[in-house]
Structure 1
Amino acid sequence: MVQEFAVYKGETLLCIGTKEECAEELNVQPEYIYWLTTPTAKRRLASRKNPDKCTVGIKL
């Protein structure tokens, strides 16, 4: 089964697909898409000044 991801910037949906598809769309490495879904990324997001403007990844 292929894992799919959704990437948002604030309330705006940037892309949906596999980490490779999202990485190609956003011009980043696939590992970055996966990293956006980790607990570490979530903690860093919570500590930012404007978390509503951050890029966030969600596993579907």
Structure 2
Amino acid sequence: MKNKEFAVYKGDIMLAMGTATECAEKLGVSEKYIYWLTMPTAKRRLAKRKNPEKCVVADVID
């Protein structure tokens, strides 16, 4: 999963795009957090929030 590219969004705004390491450095978080954002568990938890459009989400770009 090291060579995959990620796109990190908050609502409609793209915060970062690149490898997990690049995104993590740009956002000031760990690589594990970027990976976690792409997991089904994270997506379910974020969808249950009152304002899911204000959540930070990430997708893997193929």
Q: What TM-score does the superposition give when structure 1 sets the normalisation length?
A: 0.96
State the SS of the aligned residue for 1:33.
helix
CA RMSD of aligned residues (A): 1.0
1:20 is aligned to 21
Equivalent AA in structure 2 for residue 8 of structure 1 = Y
Alignment-derived partner of residue 43 in structure 1: 44
**What residue is the counterpart of 2:4 in the other structure?**
3
Mapped partners of 1:2, 1:54: distance in 2: 25
Paired amino acid for 2:4: Q
**Structure 2 unmatched ranges of 5 or more:** none
Q: State the alpha-carbon separation in 1 of the partners of residues 3 and 55 from structure 2.
A: 26
How many matched pairs?
A: 60
Q: State the identity %.
A: 62
Q: Distance in 2 between matches of 1:44 and 1:13?
A: 20
